[in-house]
Each structure stands twice: as C-alpha cells, then as structure tokens.
C-alpha cells in the first residue's frame, strides 16, 4: 500500500471481532474489562476514517450499533444489504423484500431450501435459536457442515440462487449437536449477498481505493473482503478457535493475523496501519 494515503475507512465485523465475549464492546479476552475496542474507534475518528459495521445480525440491531458509534453506513445480515446514509442497497438479486411474496426470509422458507438443509444435515445443523427469529433475509443456523458441499446440494435441488455462508464459530448449541467437535454459524442467503460485495459497493459510492481502506473480522466470509481492501486483519481469537484459517489464508499477501484478540486486535490493526502511513 502507498504510505502517503491515510486510512479512510475501517470495515469491521461485530461479534467475536470488535465485540468481545458475550457481545460486549467493553470486554476482551477472558471477559476482562477493556477499552481497546473503543480506542480503535477513537483512532479512526481522530484520523478521519469512517467505520462501517458488517455483521450477520439483523438490521434493527446493526442500525442501532451504527447509531451509537455515530456512523451512517452499515452492512447487515451477512452482506444482504448496505445502508448508506439512510438509503438501502440490496444485494439479493431477484429476491427483494415486500409485496405479496413477503420478506426475503419468507421467500427462502417458501422455496424449501432451509428445510432441505435441515433434513439432509440432521444432527449436524439446526436453527441458531433464539437469534434466528425475526430475520428479514437470512436463515441462521448453527452446526458443522461443509458450506461448499451444501451449496452443491442446494443447486442440485434447484436452489442455485442461494448459498450457505460460514460466518465463524459460536458457543451456543443444543443437546442434538453435543457430539460435534465445534459449532459454527451459517447464513442461508441469496447468492449475490456477501460482505465482500457490500464493501465493494460502499467503496465505489464513497470513491475509496483499496489502499485507502482496511477490514477486520474473524471468519472466512469476512476474509473475502480482502479482494477489495488494502489489508484484511484476522483478530487472534479467530485463528485460535479455528487454526485451519491459516491454511485458508493461502497466498493472500494482504491478509494479516493480529497478535491481540477481539477489540484489542482491531485496535492493533488500526494503529499498525496508521503508523505505516506516517513519515
């Protein structure tokens, strides 16, 4: 990246990235009180950088988080929609909200794709209760499946317009999943919906170049933003929880792993980048 260009935007995931255990902005590793996430936001503010939250959470949740942070753009439901200065930009292709067909979530349920996955992966996949409720777009699951294999299954049964997004590890599971080695969160969304596509859309609207921006997250889906940003940072807790992420990085020269976890890792990403631009 050019050293004469300041950081103009940070795209940052919420759960297990900016937010610590339990979804707290003010707690870091081991649940210890921490201001490092706030300091990351402060460093962005002092340098004039916009902060765009990108999350699998519902719009009502992410919009409130963005309001609390004083930001006017955010990405919700795993990249299904970018809200930019109050205007919604949907990345869901032929699936659009409203009308007789109902919400996009309703449309996906009606086509039978969610039921197909739950039946095929019985004992390995279930709804991520209670966070799967009242969603506008994605069907939110937890379990342990191969997302690529699931996409092939969907296409085989006529649901090629949908995909299953691996959005990282979670702690909650039911007794039905107790035998699994780990539990991950998955979003069933229209194929065009992705955090990477939403980031690219925001960058185009703002006129940002790749070297102007960075991103931070904890999942493979978050890492896909590396195709558009100058540097993508994994927080340390991501690779500790899933060591295979290091293999997934492969030869991506612009993907780095922070030494710190959660908000402290985001702070590390921001200040390291800012320091590299000085002088």
pLDDT in tens, 231-272: 999 999 999 989 999 999 988 999 999 999 999 999 999 999
Domain spans of the chain, in order of start: 9-91+194-277, 104-190
Which of 167, 143, 139, 137 shows the shortest CA–CA distance to 54?
167
Cα–Cα distance, 34 to 110 (Å, whole number): 44
The pLDDT, as a whole number, for residue 171 is: 82
Give the Å distances, CA to CA, from 151 to 113, 191, 242, 245: 10, 10, 22, 20
Query: Which residue reads 């780990």 in tokens?
Result: 182
The pLDDT, as a whole number, for residue 277 is: 73
Query: Which residue reads 């295979």 in tokens?
Result: 244
pLDDT in tens, 2-26: 444 579 999 999 999 999 998 999 9
The pLDDT, as a whole number, for residue 172 is: 83
pLDDT in tens, 86-130: 999 999 999 999 878 899 999 999 999 999 999 999 999 999 999
Mean pLDDT, rounded, for 61-71:
97
| Cis amide prior to 37 (ω within 30 degrees) | no
Q: Crossing angle for the helix pair 113-120 and 104-111, nearest 10 degrees?
A: 60
How many other CB atoms sit within 10 Å of the CB of residue 253?
9
Q: Taking the model in full, what pTM does it have?
A: 0.93
The pLDDT, as a whole number, for residue 1 is: 38
pLDDT in tens, 154-191: 999 999 999 999 988 888 889 999 999 999 999 999 99
CATH topology of domain 9-91+194-277: Rossmann fold (3.40.50)
C-alpha torsion sign, points 227, 276, 73, 222: positive
Which pairs with CB-CB distance under 8 Å and at least 24 residues apart come from 31-34? 34/262, 34/263, 34/264
């Amino acid at each position: 990246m050019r050293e004469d260009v300041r950081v103009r935007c940070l795209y940052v995931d919420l759960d297990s990235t900016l937010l610590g255990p339990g979804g707290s902005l003010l707690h870091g590793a081991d649940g210890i009180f921490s201001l490092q996430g706030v300091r990351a936001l402060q460093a962005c503010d002092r340098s004039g950088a916009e902060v765009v939250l990108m999350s699998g959470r519902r719009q009502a949740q992410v919009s409130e988080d963005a309001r609390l942070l004083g930001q006017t753009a955010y990405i919700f439901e795993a990249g299904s929609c970018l809200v930019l200065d109050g205007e919604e930009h949907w990345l869901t292709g032929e699936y659009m909200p409203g009308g007789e067909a109902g919400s996009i979530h309703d449309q996906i349920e009606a086509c039978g794709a969610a039921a197909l996955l739950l039946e095929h992966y019985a004992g390995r996949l279930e709804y991520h209760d209670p966070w799967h409720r009242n969603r506008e777009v994605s069907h939110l699951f937890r379990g342990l499946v191969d997302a690529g294999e699931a996409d092939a299954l969907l296409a085989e049964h006529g649901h090629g317009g949908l995909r299953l997004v691996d959005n990282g590890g979670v702690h909650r599971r039911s007794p039905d999943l107790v035998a699994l080695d780990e539990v991950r969160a998955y979003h069933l969304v229209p194929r065009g919906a992705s955090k990477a596509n939403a980031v690219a859309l925001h960058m185009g609207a703002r006129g940002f170049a790749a070297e102007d921006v960075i991103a931070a997250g904890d999942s493979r889906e978050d890492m896909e933003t590396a195709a558009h940003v100058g540097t993508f940072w994994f927080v340390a807790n991501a690779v500790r929880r899933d060591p295979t992420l290091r293999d997934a990085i492969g030869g991506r020269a612009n993907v780095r792993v922070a030494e710190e976890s959660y908000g402290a890792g985001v702070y590390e990403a921001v200040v390291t980048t800012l320091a590299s631009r000085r002088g």
